[in-house]
Amino acid sequence: MSRLADRRFATVVLALALLALAGCAGEPDGPGEAAASTPAKPAYGDVFVEPILGNISGLIPQLTNDMISSQVSSLIYSGLVDLDDHSRFVPALAESWDFGADCRSLTFRLRKNVRWHDGKPFTAADVLFTHAALVHPKTPTARRDDFAAVESIEAPDPYTVHVRYAKPYARALMSWATAMLPAHLLRTWVEQGKLREAPQHWTHPVGTGPYKFEEIRSGEKVALKANPDYFAGRPYLSRVVYRVIPSQATIFLELKAHGLDSAGLMRGLTALQYTRQTEYPAFRKAYAKYRYPASQYTYLGLNMKDPRFADRRVRRAFAHAINKQELIDGVLLGLGREATGPYKPGTWVHSPNVARFPYDLAKARTLLAEAGWTEKNAEGLLVKDGKPFTFELLTNQGNEERKKVAEIVQASLRELGVGVEIRVLEWASFIKEYVKKRRFEALVLGWAIGEDPDQYAIWHSSKTGPDDLNHVSFQNAEVDELLERGRTACRREDRVQYYHRIQEILAAEQAYVFLFFRDALPVVARRIRGVEVGPNGLTYEFARWYVPRGEQRYTAD
């Protein structure tokens, strides 16, 4: 069981976690495309060649922050639990688990006869060690908070672990999806505070996952080979080779020349490549294209410290004035979905029953008029108290998508008589000088959403300080309370009510003008079978992917 897709955003974004999904199926492109999974006899063998854009930065996953490293290490390591392609919790190293009635204790029963890649048995001691390693003051990890929340942890026998939290912690189960680390190899490194220098971080990682580390050539490739003793069954594909190719253009050419088996399972094609440049028979014959909503949305943020934007009617007017379908068609070539709130459509936490703001200029004008914007000056701009309604819209350099969004927003608001000036800034100074210091009027940005729906850091009114993430300064007492309840409940049935209500308020208030979720557009070589796309991507069952004997390309076994 691989965790590639799940890990992606958990690593990139810690602030927001568990976004679990249900329903919302990803779609293979067109009816004929699904033929890629024609049944054939599963067979062992063949190599999967996957491009990565840059070098990995290490193989102990808790020490790295980048997507590429966690993609590679997700095949080497396993956690106690895993998330499937619908973001349901499934057993991994733990056979089962129970929450105590007060949500404060959690008991895992571990799988027996699991072995590390070096042959040593995996036991509860390794779980205790992983916890100790991550809370050790000298371990440079961004995951500490999850484990610092643990009040006590003990192992009454080698296959049982009791965890107790000081107060109910919603991310508790989620946090145990983290990679378990081998105590017998890493203990001394952790105790010396030198975990990063351990050979397991670079050349000799030892995990319990479906693939064993084989070789790394810095800047060139990372190779993994199947672990025949994997607890969930030996993976079919004998090897996985990650080739470092820093240029997207080169990846695409390699794909056309059949040198790769995917365009990157995490990233996939661009909208233009997907709709135009791959629409020829030879490509369609060699690759199956897939499509599912990416865990990322784009929004227009209005700084509510600015009295004009503190008025909800103005924000709602903007929402009516921006045609979201036009945005999706123009920017994503139609490959995206409208966002009505900060959760992915079709997931368990997403609520479809929120206020909608269809494209309606007349309504937008009425709303602005109610807010006191009635007069227009010679240039056709709305005027109040002698000042024309103009503002600066910021976004970051290097993201064409956001630049185009800003341009369409500019044109849409001009229709209302609102003047928008676009400024594109270099990322580091944009964040540091403008976003963090709240020196902006409006911005186009995106959030990658994690696997837990807790968005306390983004919406809570206590998080409006300079280094906090509530940069639009949204404040709502009810949302505050719901956020607090949501992060201290451990059952999804309870949490879902809180998060549905939060979405209703965020939509009604237009805390952001939510724009769209883009689609992820991966391709996989057709000789690979068993590929299934869920709302959470397609890599969850990677260990069950196979190539029928007759179609195997690489003979190395």
Partner 1 sequence: MLLYALRRLLLALPLLIGITFVSFLVIHLAPGDPVELQTGDPSIESSAQAQKMLRELYGLDQPLHRQYWNWLTRIVRLDFGRSFAPDGRPVIQKISERLPVTLLLNVIELLVIIALAIPIGVLSATRQHSLFDKVTTVFVFVGFATPDFWLALLLMMLFGVQLGWLPISGLRSLNWEYLSFWKQHLDFVAHLLLPVIVATFGGLAGLSRYMRQSMLEVVRQDYIQSARAKGLAERVVIRKHALRNALLPIVTILALSLPGLIGGSVIVESIFAIPGMGQLMVQAVFARDYPVIMGNLVIVATLTLLANLVADLAYGFVDPRIRLAGRRSR
Q: Which CB atom, from 120 or from 436, has the smaller least distance to partner 1?
A: 436
Please state the closest distance from residue 170 (CB atom) to partner 1, in A.
Answer: 15
DSSP codes, 89-122: EEESSEEEEEE-TTSSEEEEEEPSS-B-TTSPBP
Q: Which CB atom, from 365 or from 402, has the smaller least distance to partner 1?
A: 402
| 3-state DSSP assignment of residue 552 | coil
Cα–Cα distance for residue pair 522/274, rounded to 1 Å: 9
Please state the closest distance from residue 269 (CB atom) to partner 1, in A.
Answer: 16
| 3-state DSSP assignment of residue 38 | coil
Q: Which CB atom, from 355 or from 424, has the smaller least distance to partner 1?
A: 424
Cα–Cα distance for residue pair 366/507, rounded to 1 Å: 19
Please state the closest distance from residue 541 (CB atom) to partner 1, in A.
Answer: 24
Q: Are 203 and 188 in contact (CB under 8 A)?
A: no
Please state the closest distance from residue 131 (CB atom) to partner 1, in A.
Answer: 18
Q: Which CB atom, from 124 or from 265, has the smaller least distance to partner 1?
A: 265
Q: Which residues sit at the interface with partner 1, rule CB under 8 A?
A: 12-16, 47, 49, 54-58, 63-66, 69, 137-138, 140, 142, 144-145, 196-197, 201-202, 217-221, 241, 243-247, 249-250, 253-254, 256-257, 259, 428-429, 431-432, 435-436, 447-448, 457, 469, 471, 554, 556
Q: Which CB atom, from 292 or from 447, has the smaller least distance to partner 1?
A: 447
What's 455's DSSP letter?
A: -
322 burial type by CB count under 10 A (0-12 exposed, 13-18 middle, 19+ buried): buried
Q: Which CB atom, from 101 or from 249, has the smaller least distance to partner 1?
A: 249
* Rounded (to 5) percent helix, strand, coil in the chain: 35, 25, 45
Please state the closest distance from residue 55 (CB atom) to partner 1, in A.
Answer: 8
- Non-local (6+) Cβ contacts of 26 within 8 A are 290, 291, 292, 293, 533, 534, 535, 537, 538
Please state the closest distance from residue 12 (CB atom) to partner 1, in A.
Answer: 7
- Non-local (6+) Cβ contacts of 37 within 8 A are 529, 530, 531, 532
Pairing of strands 387-388, 47-52: unpaired
Please state the closest distance from residue 283 (CB atom) to partner 1, in A.
Answer: 11
Sign of CA dihedral 514, 486, 509, 24: positive
Please state the closest distance from residue 236 (CB atom) to partner 1, in A.
Answer: 18
Cα–Cα distance for residue pair 202/72, rounded to 1 Å: 12
Please state the closest distance from residue 399 (CB atom) to partner 1, in A.
Answer: 14
Q: Which CB atom, from 399 or from 410, has the smaller least distance to partner 1?
A: 399
Helices (H) and strands (E) in the chain, counts: 18, 21
Please state the closest distance from residue 467 (CB atom) to partner 1, in A.
Answer: 8
Cα–Cα distance for residue pair 465/504, rounded to 1 Å: 25
> First and final CA of the chain: distance in angstroms?
21
Which token pair is 540? 């969850």
Q: Which CB atom, from 203 or from 325, has the smaller least distance to partner 1?
A: 203
Q: Which CB atom, from 154 or from 197, has the smaller least distance to partner 1?
A: 197
- Non-local (6+) Cβ contacts of 46 within 8 A are 237, 238, 527, 546, 547, 552, 553, 554
Which token pair is 487? 């992060």
Q: Which CB atom, from 9 or from 122, has the smaller least distance to partner 1?
A: 9
